[in-house]
Amino acid sequence: MKQKLILTADFIRYNIKIIFANKFIYFLIAAFAFFLMVTGIMLFSDSSPDEADIYRSLIFPGVLILFYPVIYNIQSDKDTRMLEILFGIPNYRYKVYLVRFALSLLLLLLTMCLMSWITVFAIIRISVFHMVYQLMYCLLFLASLAFLLATLIKNASGAAVVMVIIGLAFLILAEPLASSKWNIFLNPFNVPGDMSYSIWQNVLSQNRMMLVVGAVISILWSLINMQKRERFV
């Protein structure tokens, strides 16, 4: 039992090193730089920010943090010639990439909590856990979609370009679909004035359900794609 725990700890520690390798630190710095810049603007602004503003300010840093470790996950193993080993051991690749995906989400969750706590001390009192809970719906979907693209497209840079295009399309549609269940960036704290609260809650619950279902489908599709060894090696 002790030996198994040691092996598990070593396995997790190794995959954490992979996540933090290469250029991830730049994405992390960019995320915090953007967050601190927006926080500074809000802090010295004449208007009083609310929870809806905080939600919007945290979405982009969250996307930056999940972007690199999810999309370049497989590419990093390909560059270091580890793919042949991972695909050579039956079912081992599923364990490795699911663990890395879970660790990336855990890192994202902790970072969102930290940024939300900074917001509490610097700008406005909010429910940190409720804010992070709502943020994770959108971020989980985007992370799962990025993971899917990484398994569909052989090149990580190509997958990154496609992900950016999809993200821009979602952003362009965010305003026309502002109060629609189809808006993946739907802000749960921005309640429309022309909509009753009960209808809004129904729209919000449908939106969250679709994001979760989309995330699950993307992850399962990614695992199916990983059965095709020739796609990666």
Contact (CB, 8 A) for 50 and 187: no
Q: Write out pLDDT tens, residues 121-175.
A: 888 888 999 999 999 999 999 999 998 988 888 777 788 888 888 888 888 887 7
11 vs 206: which has the higher pLDDT: 206
With bands split at pLDDT 50, 70 and 90, how would you rate the model's confidence at 28? confident
Predicted pLDDT at 151: 84
What percentage of the chain reaches a pLDDT higher than 70?
Answer: 84
Q: How many C-beta neighbours within 10 Å does residue 221 have?
A: 16
* CA atoms of 225 and 146, how far apart (whole Å): 14
* CA atoms of 207 and 198, how far apart (whole Å): 14
Q: Write out pLDDT tens, residues 89-132.
A: 555 566 777 888 888 899 999 999 999 999 988 888 889 999 99
Each domain of the chain, given as residue ranges in start order, spans 2-231
Q: Write out pLDDT tens, residues 189-215.
A: 888 877 888 889 999 999 999 999 999
* CA atoms of 2 and 121, how far apart (whole Å): 42
Contact (CB, 8 A) for 58 and 102: no
